[in-house]
Structure 1
Amino acid sequence: MDTGIRIAIIDDHPLFRAGVIHILSARPDLDVVGQGASASDAISVARNESPDLLILDVSIPGGGLDALESIVAECPKTKVIMLTVSVDKPDVLKALRLGARGYVVKGVSGTDLVQALLIVAQGDRYISPSLGAMLLSDFDHTKTATRGKAIDDLSHREGEVLALVTQGLSNKEIGIRLNLSDKTVKHYMTSVFQKLHVRNRLEAALLVRKPVNVPANDASRIAENRSPSGN
């Protein structure tokens, strides 16, 4: 019986699709259970295979965003990650609003793609760092006036956790950096969301338009706790 993360990929370029499948199939913890080239293929695979993750291109025949909307509504247990060349702001924002759990720009390395998939599989969200500045410019500017006070309301430890969230770290990675259990990190994350009035880690990271201040001695300690591989 398969014990790995079950993944499907939908992309209308056969060579690219085959390359991604090759990368994923080399991992014992990832199991490719379906593939396709169109929106109808995506919906069919989601319904019939119920993958844990579904990789979807925005520009497939039939529309990747239309497929995303249907899959989120009909197959809520399947998390959708957009893997596409499109960095158009309307596409990115619409995908996130429709329920995509990740948005990755093609050209990413195989290692980074796998890391993004693992982050989403753990229940977190992932977006390519190159899109961060673009999204910041479109984020709700009405929250800017209250941002400083909201950040100031965070405890020292909550500030440390938020600083690492803005670096794209998962809860597990944050726990390793700060020597905290997963349960404790989740507790701090819940408190941060409530104080910043955001719904998830992506909104929290977008709200922070400049690095969260961490005292120099604590910043040094965090850096020292990093493993050589950066995990």
Structure 2
Amino acid sequence: MGLALPGLGRLAGSVSGASIHSVVAMTTTTYIEAPRTLPRLAADTRYVLTGFPVALAAFVLCLTTVTMGVGLAVVWVGVPLAVAALTLARTFATAERARVADVLGEAVPRPVYRTGTWRMFADPQSWRDLAHALLRWIPSTVAFCIVVSWWAAALGSLTWSLWGWALPDGPDDHELPELIGLGDAYLTAVVFYLVVAAVLAVTLPAVTRAAARVEAGFARALLGPRSETA
């Protein structure tokens, strides 16, 4: 009783076919996914850069209105101002729920608000909207500073050879390559900054993505329905 073994030709053909199929699949996947990096980077950068001025506007408008409302509450003038503050916060919240779709892939669902002027004060979501308007500048500022610094460092390092020659070159002026012991040759500095630019460019999408997700996650935590954010 013998064992039937596949022919060497068939075995080699199947292995070769599988290998070729695997290589083609990997190449196709890489080709399809690689171009998505730039649109993703652009969307995350746009979200962070536009979020900072919006956060400042929300903070200034809502803080001014709510503090005036609290201060004038004893003469009832503060009640309309408090309503205006909550309405402003709700407007900013509505815009932010749509804005985070660029980062999270979908808009944050709008919770159900209580209707009526007086019921607005008893609506927890109205106060969460106000809290987001007053506090969003914190993650927005951090994300903005990180993203702008990373972009500036990457572009500055990449183009250093075009403007580095114009920097002061006195006895007390030293470039980073010289400070770390690589010498003070101009070509050395050019190569050094090109390497730095490459490292920053490679890490830029991940850093920008992380900054955008932190800011968007803060919005989702306060602006989403309680059943999803609990």
Report the TM-score range of the alignment, normalised by the length of the smaller protein.
under 0.3
Q: Kindly indicate which of the two structures has a greater share of residues assigned to strand.
A: 1
The structure whose residues are more often helix, as a share, is: 2
Normalization by structure 2: what TM-score? Answer: 0.21
Higher relative contact order (CA 8 A, sep 6+): 2
